[in-house]
Homo-oligomer: A and B are copies of this chain.
């Protein structure tokens, strides 16, 4: 069922059908009605591909994120989908799964499919794939993660400031030895660890600001396999021995919960012996006892700002390079407290 079929059925030309379909002026109300009736009866819908080919608009946005299993990405994705739905755009959701090559491929597919705009959380530290999009003058926003060398729109959160503030909060409580449990850094040449670096820099800068050093033995990277493991000694060892840490800043909430549960099981008090902090303020984990002291991200604002910037460029035909950095909020619960050594 094409526009030609409708034309034939109604005994008119496809030009006339087109006019009826789009409410264009210069058409007899009678024939218009007849055409619209035929359209309805036959369930005719214009072919998107042909339409897009002829108009040059695709009304499609490419959203490329690492995954949707992480609650943060799920929230962002949900909001972005809703925003574009409201505006009449169709979303192509692509998952890079932290795979730099897959990210490159998807970016090329976006070009093939002539998306009107692209939003990407880059996991690839090599900027060429993103630059190729820009060369084709397709509006783009980097979201949550940065590619510092690329001149384009960027919406990030202040990871540095968030970790700086959290560290100062712990220092203020009296902690002097704070362990740092980093998120998993995929050791591939291409992995973009910008976020890891920003958070860690906030952490160490806060320590330095207060005249504290960082004991490299108090650093650990949380490997995905730890979730499954029964044995947590590789990490809980940080909190005993000759020079134990009294607090642990975790890269995100899931790690914090994992750690907290195991510390308690191993006989540590939380926060009495060890303070634990997270990042993200995951809704699913908000019922945990003791509540995790964490950092809440402005997901709704990130999504809104990202969409606003992208739609602006699309509708104005511009390629701007706005940088937006959004602030976070410290959520104080019970998992962090005054260290035992500081109480009497």
Q: How far is the CA of A95 from the CA of B75 in the complex (A)?
A: 12
Look across to chain B and name the residue whose beta carbon is closest to the beta carbon of A46.
Answer: B112
The answer to whether A49 touches B85 (Cβ under 8 A) is no
Q: State whether the Cβ of A283 lies closer than 8 Å to any Cβ in chain B.
A: yes
Q: Known: A74-B74, A284-B285, A287-B261. Is A112-B47 also a contact (CB below 8 A)?
A: yes
Residues of B within 8 A of A74 (CB): 67-69, 74
A114 partner, pick from B47, B68, B284, beta carbons under 8 A: B47
Contact digits for A85-114, partner B, Cβ 8 Å, 1 yes 0 no: 100001111110100001000001101111
Q: How far is the CA of A106 from the CA of B230 in the complex (A)?
A: 45
Look across to chain B and name the residue whose beta carbon is closest to the beta carbon of A49.
Answer: B49
Q: State whether the Cβ of A142 lies closer than 8 Å to any Cβ in chain B.
A: no
The answer to whether A45 touches B108 (Cβ under 8 A) is yes
The answer to whether B49 touches A114 (Cβ under 8 A) is yes
Residues of B within 8 A of A47 (CB): 53, 112, 114
CB distance from A207 to the nearest CB of B (A): 29
The answer to whether A112 touches B48 (Cβ under 8 A) is yes
Q: State whether the Cβ of A14 lies closer than 8 Å to any Cβ in chain B.
A: no
Residues of B within 8 A of A261 (CB): 287-289
Q: How far is the CA of A241 from the CA of B29 in the complex (A)?
A: 70
Which applies to chain A's interface (DSSP): helix, strand, loop or mixed?
helix
Q: State whether the Cβ of A223 lies closer than 8 Å to any Cβ in chain B.
A: no
A68 partner, pick from B77, B282, B284, beta carbons under 8 A: B77
Contact digits for A131-165, partner B, Cβ 8 Å, 1 yes 0 no: 01001000000000000000000000000000000
Q: How far is the CA of A277 from the CA of B331 in the complex (A)?
A: 30
Q: State whether the Cβ of A258 lies closer than 8 Å to any Cβ in chain B.
A: yes
Q: State whether the Cβ of A201 lies closer than 8 Å to any Cβ in chain B.
A: no
A78 partner, pick from B69, B258, B285, beta carbons under 8 A: B69
Residues of B within 8 A of A93 (CB): 91-93
CB distance from A90 to the nearest CB of B (A): 6
Residues of A within 8 A of B (CB): 43, 45-50, 52-53, 58, 67-69, 71, 74-75, 77-78, 81-82, 85, 90-95, 97, 102, 108-109, 111-114, 132, 135, 227, 254, 257-258, 261, 264-265, 282-285, 287-289
29 CB contacts below 8 A, A to B, read A45-B108, A47-B53, A47-B114, A48-B109, A48-B113, A49-B50, A49-B53, A49-B113, A50-B53, A67-B74, A68-B68, A68-B77, A69-B74, A69-B75, A69-B78, A71-B284, A74-B74, A78-B97, A81-B94, A82-B97, A85-B102, A90-B109, A90-B113, A92-B92, A254-B284, A257-B287, A261-B287, A265-B289, A284-B285
